[in-house]
Amino acid sequence: MNGMHVLEVEHLNIWEERSGRVLVHDSSFRLAQGECLAIVGESGSGKSLTCKSLMRLNRTGVRQSGFVALNGEDLSKLSDKEMRKFRGRRFCMIMQNGMSAFDPSRPIGAHLLETLGVHFNWSRAEMETRLTATMSSVGLKEPAVVMRSYPHELSGGMLQRVMISLAIVLEPDVIIADEPTTALDAVTAYEVVEQFMRLRERLGSAMIFVSHDLGAVRRIADNVLVMKDGGVVEHGTTKNIFAGASHPYTRYLVSSKQAMSRHFEQLMGDADVAKG
């Protein structure tokens, strides 16, 4: 087994059990230590399904086959109980919608402490110190207030930061971010993308960044995987994908984004614009 790759996915197939409809078809990719791979594509292309099946979190009725290995360990051979230990500690998922990712009936703090309690033998005080420190590092100004709040009292951007700070404390091998900026407005999305870039620098862990926002992808990713109708259309470095993609579908995705941003850049002239 190649030690260079943190995550290896080979011939991943996902299908619906009842109808036999294939949702993701023969997708293979690898993730090196510290690499950030972006998965892009339109909705319904199977991006989120791929991520969920890496963590074996697909809903019942959706079946998968293929080889998924984390640090050389075949995940499909693990029992559900063993898999549960992997999630969070080794694999960390950051969801699109913060509102539904947290338990609505409990304060954020209770949820976070419970998660940490499962994975570490830290005392409550130690967990709180670590959480407070990371929360302030991601720009949450009053960690104690945030910990006491319920999910509905915080904005989408704040919940996204809470998830990022939990990921920092957990120090996972692979972080999967599933459309983390889609539900946010432009300014908050910019700040969250900044936080993701810092997160990578800090942990050096590999990351899968799922998004249809090509601007964010261009800023953060090293490599890009393009999906369409459940299949991998193209896989290449971010530079190549944006400069000269070989597949017409990728070119179409990139060009429609560029038409808008080029117009904006022309408007702004040489004024200060964050470049992707």
Partner 1 sequence: MLKVEGVNKSYRQTDWFRKARNQVLRDIGFEWRQGETLGIIGESGSGKSTLGRLLLGIEEPDSGIITFGGKPISDRSTRRGAISAVFQDYTSSINPFFTVRQAILEPLRLAGTASRPFDIGKLLRQVGLDESYLTRYPHELSGGEAQRVCIARAVSAEPQCILLDEAISSLDGSVQMQVLELLKQLRTSYGMGYIFITHDIQAAAYLCDRVMIICGGEMVELVETEELKHVQSPYAKELLSKVIS
Least Å distance, CB 260 to partner 1, is 5
Using CB under 8 A as the binding rule, whether residue 141 contacts partner 1 is answered as no
Task: Tell me how far the alpha carbon of residue 149 is from its chain's centroid.
Answer: 24
155 lines the binding site for partner 1 (CB under 8 A)? yes
Q: Least Å distance between CB 110 and partner 1?
A: 22
SS3 60: coil
> Does residue 104 belong to the site contacting partner 1 (CB under 8 A)?
no
| Binding span for partner 1 by CB under 8 A among 105-113, 125-133, 162-170, 186-194 | 186-194
CA distance 33 to 255: 31
- Locate tokens 């976070």: which residue? 112
Q: Does residue 106 touch partner 1 according to CB under 8 A?
A: no
- Sheet hosting strand 174-178, strand order edge to edge: 91-94, 174-178, 206-210, 36-40, 223-228, 231-237
Backbone angles phi, psi at 45, to 5 degrees: -85, -5
Within 189-228, the residues that bind partner 1 by CB under 8 A are: 189-191, 193, 212-216, 219
**C-beta separation of 40 from 14 below 8 A:** no
152 binds partner 1 (CB under 8 A): no
CB nearer to partner 1: give 39 or 112.
39
Residues 248 and 194: their CA atoms lie apart, in Å, by 31
Q: Which stretch binds partner 1 (CB under 8 A): 41-49, 68-76, 97-105, 165-173?
A: 41-49
DSSP state of 149: S
Q: How far is the CB of 247 from partner 1 (least distance, A)?
A: 14
How far apart, in whole angstroms, are the C-alpha atoms of residue 71 and residue 8? 8
Kindly state whether residue 256 participates in binding partner 1, applying the rule CB under 8 A.
yes
Task: Give me the residues that bind partner 1 (CB under 8 A), please.
Answer: 42-44, 155-156, 184-191, 193, 212-216, 219, 252-253, 256-257, 259-261, 263-265, 267-269, 271-276
